[in-house]
Structure 1
Amino acid sequence: MLSSAYITHKDMFFYSKFVPNTSSPMIFSKQNLTIFMLVVSTAIVAVSCNGVSNYRTIDGFTQGTTFHIVYSSSGDSLNSAVDSILLKIDNSLSVYNDSSLITAVNQNLDVYVDTLFENVFKRSVDIWRESDGAFDISAAPYFEVWGFGKGEKREVTPQMIDSIKAFVGMDKVALSEGKVVKSDNRLTLNVNAIAQGYTADVIAYEFDRRGIDNYLVEVGGEIFCKGVNPSGKRWSVGIDRPEEGNMIQGGDIQTVILLSGRGLATSGNYRKFIEENGVKYSHTINPATGRPVKHNLLSATVIASDAMTADAYATWFMVVGLDRAVEIIESRDDIDALLIYDKDGEFKLYQSKGLEINK
């Protein structure tokens, strides 16, 4: 299994996987044409505070990364239900699926969107407005020219950036009568900075609908969990130390967060960058400038009411940097966050008041 999560029967402990390109087109060991899913289910019998409970796990591959699910159930396996959800989301939102709905939209075909697409699009527009454009699902062309997309890095010129700016921005696209309407047909959408969180939410909703009280859903490191683990405790999520060279998820843990009933996502710069003529370029690009960000924020972990919001906010905070991220976090009571930043060559942590650390 390639998931960053690891399990012991004593305590369910998960690493929040840092997916390098959280705001760019997926370049993460992905087949270009179709989704590749391998689903494996096992059962865990553990002693919880209420006695013996049956927990099952489902592991596999989706959206160019791994997923890992643990849930309590004495009934039938939910493999087929999870597999169906993953396939529907891939057929709607994957830019690497040539037959997907979002691919058709990017090719300016006359298609009606489905509920999955509509939900992600509308939430993306909301957060684009809320973030003053720092979170932007139409900014994918910038990642292409900087070498974080499918192609090689080009020599980036101010003229090239200016030409792309002409067709980037969520004010240039809208939904109307079930279809995507663009003011410039060169505009394309990529929802990878929010889709994995949304996938975790959709699976969690299905579990809720089926009356499952205890579960953890992790898709590409974005998590939604509820209830307790097999030990009868809240779920523990490990946050990686954002050190260059720390390429193995869970290899070096900075801290462990207790979580239940909320979504969590982590974004960072330390594992994905390009170096040219001795200069390192971050994979996080500011849509306002079209250029990689330069600041001391290394990793942003966000906890919100749903994983989709946490996913997008983690990207937003990595775009705006430490000071602005702290301002946003402290101005609201519906999110918590852990920010890891560099100060004079040392790692420093900012954590919101509501964050619960497993000490």
Structure 2
Amino acid sequence: MQAVMSDNGTFYYSIQGTAEGTSYSIIYQDDYDRDFQPEIEALLSDFEKSMSVYDENSVISRINRNEDVETDIYFESVFNKAKEISAITEGMFDISAEPLFRAWGFSSQQKNIPDQDKINALKEFIGMDKIMIENKHVIKTNPNIVLNANAIAKGFSADIIAAFLEEHGCGNYLVEIGGEIRMKGENTSGEKWRIGIDRPAEDNPIPGQDLQVILQITDKGIATSGNYRQFYIENGQKITHTINPATGYPVKHNLLSVTVVANDAITADAFATAFLVAGIDKSMEWLEELTEIEALFICDEEGEYKMYCTSGIENNLIPV
């Protein structure tokens, strides 16, 4: 734990570590000089035992193997939110789309392009309407249904840590887990928190190294999804990891990056993925109804990066 004195003389504490196959970074203001890292890591470990597909004994892994396992509050919270956002986004967000990612080589070592017959076969057991929770058990219409909640789970874990900090009287904090963020109050300069949005270029592999813009905001959850870092070239064709569950194919549009601001990080995380799949036009249609969500889109227009955003965050952007 590292201590940093703010401009008004109070102390902020910074902790870093690894969780959910990624890194986390947390800064919080505390009047009692408390080191919360052991408790935070215990919370993150418990969350992984529920939602990590990398832990073969986690709840979600056992569900994927069709074992008789009861759901817990973490799984149910993530699942219910995923189902809700899947319905709003017409299936563009779907945690049951994991078999498609495997087929395209994004959840496996083998990189290959599946044929239409393979995609059609996989789509038979993809869809949030094919799975439900009853009496703390997951019911599938097809045993081949496999779930992966990575596109929403990190956001929820940030919300969990934020709730812990608030319970312990921390009014100023920023929680970042794998790029998904939940913040409240002020930074060490007594201002709203500043969040850097990366320039969505293939030659910009390190987050925070080359920024497109800075977003100054607080008391919100923020998540960014992009398709410019995870891709491969097969037979001269660029295959991105952003796959449309409805078609079974990687998307082909000029939207490179989406940043979503919502009241919590779980919502921001899921919608950022859905918007990246759907593209800017469809996303803007949804945003007209989603009054508590703001978004920033970065598109490739003839080799130039163009930004579009909803009116609610337009005045929070700081050029770099």
Which interval holds the TM-score relative to the shorter structure?
over 0.9
Match of 1:315 in 2: 273
CA RMSD of aligned residues (A): 1.0
Show CA shifts across 1:290-314 (max 9, x none). 1100000000000001000000000
| Residue 324, structure 1, aligned to residue 315, structure 2 | no
Q: Partners in 1 of 2:106 and 2:3 — Cα distance?
A: 39
Q: Distance in 1 between matches of 2:208 and 2:79?
A: 32
Amino acid at match of 1:63: E
1:305 aligns with 2:270: no
Unmatched segments (≥5 aa) in structure 2: none
Among 70, 74, 94, the alignment partner of 1:112 is 70
Q: 2:232 aligns with which of 274, 282, 287?
A: 274
**Aligned residue number for residue 196 of structure 1:** 154
Distance 2:25 2:53 in 1: 22
Partner of 2:40: 82
Superposed, 1:84-233 pairs within 5 Å as: 84-233=42-191
C-alpha separation between the residues in 1 aligned to 2:113 and 2:172? 50
**Aligned counterpart in structure 1 of residue 15 of structure 2, from 35, 58, 61:** 58
Deviations 1:264-320 (A, max 9, x none): 000011111110111101110000011100000000000001000000000000111
Question: Structure 1 residue 110: deviation in Å?
Answer: 0.5
Q: Secondary structure at the match of 2:208?
A: coil
Aligned residues of 1:265 and 1:314 also touching (Cα < 8 A): yes
Look up the match of 1:68. Answer: 25
The answer to whether the 8 Å contact 2:154/2:266 transfers is yes
Which AA in structure 2 matches 1:309? T
Tell me the TM-score normalised to structure 1 length: 0.86
Q: In structure 2, what is the Cα distance between the partners aligned to 1:348 and 1:46?
A: 36
Question: What is the match of residue 204 of structure 2?
Answer: 246
Structure-2 separation of matches of 1:224 and 1:68:
11
Measure how far apart 1:358 and its partner are: 2.7
1:34 corresponds to: none
Alignment check: 8 A CA contact 1:330 1:352 kept = no
Asked whether the 8 Å contact 1:144–1:153 carries over to 2, the reply is: no
> What is aligned with 2:4?
44
- Match of 1:205, SS state, is helix
Structure 2 Cα separation of the partners of residues 158 and 332 of structure 1: 35
Looking at structure 1, the residues matched to 208 and 308 of structure 2 have their Cα atoms a distance apart, in angstroms, of 20
Q: Structure 1, unaligned stretches of length 5 or more? A: 1-40
1:140 deviates by 0.3
Q: Which amino acid aligns with 1:216?
A: L
* Cα separation, 1, equivalents of 2:41 and 2:13: 15
CA distance in 2, matches of 1:261, 1:247: 29
Check if 1:357 corresponds to 2:317: yes
User: What whole-Å deviation, never above 9, does each CA across 1:184-232 have from its counterpart, x for those lacking one?
Assistant: 1110110000000000000001111111100000000000000001111
Is the CA contact (8 Å cut-off) linking 2:89 and 2:286 kept in structure 1? no
Aligned amino acid, residue 120 of structure 1: V
| Alpha-carbon distance between aligned partners in 1 of 2:259 and 2:164, rounded to the nearest angstrom | 25
Q: Using the TM superposition, give the Cα deviation of residue 233 of structure 1 relative to its aligned residue in structure 2, in angstroms.
A: 0.8
Is the CA contact 2:6–2:190 (under 8 Å) kept in the aligned structure 1?
Answer: no
Q: State the shift of 1:154 in Å.
A: 3.0
* Sequence identity (%): 44
- Counting matched residue pairs gives 316
Cα distance in 1 between the residues matched to 2:6 and 2:290:
38
- Kindly indicate whether the alpha-carbon contact (under 8 Å) linking 1:301 and 1:314 is maintained by their aligned counterparts in 2: yes
Cα distance between partner residues in 2 of 1:287 and 1:105: 21
- Considering fraction of residues, name the structure with more helix: 2
**Structure 2 counterpart of 1:310, which letter?**
A
Q: Secondary structure at the match of 2:318?
A: coil
Q: How many angstroms apart in 2 are the aligned matches of 1:332 and 1:99?
A: 37
Residue identity opposite 1:300 in structure 2: V
Amino acid at match of 2:25: H
Letter in 2 for 1:336: E
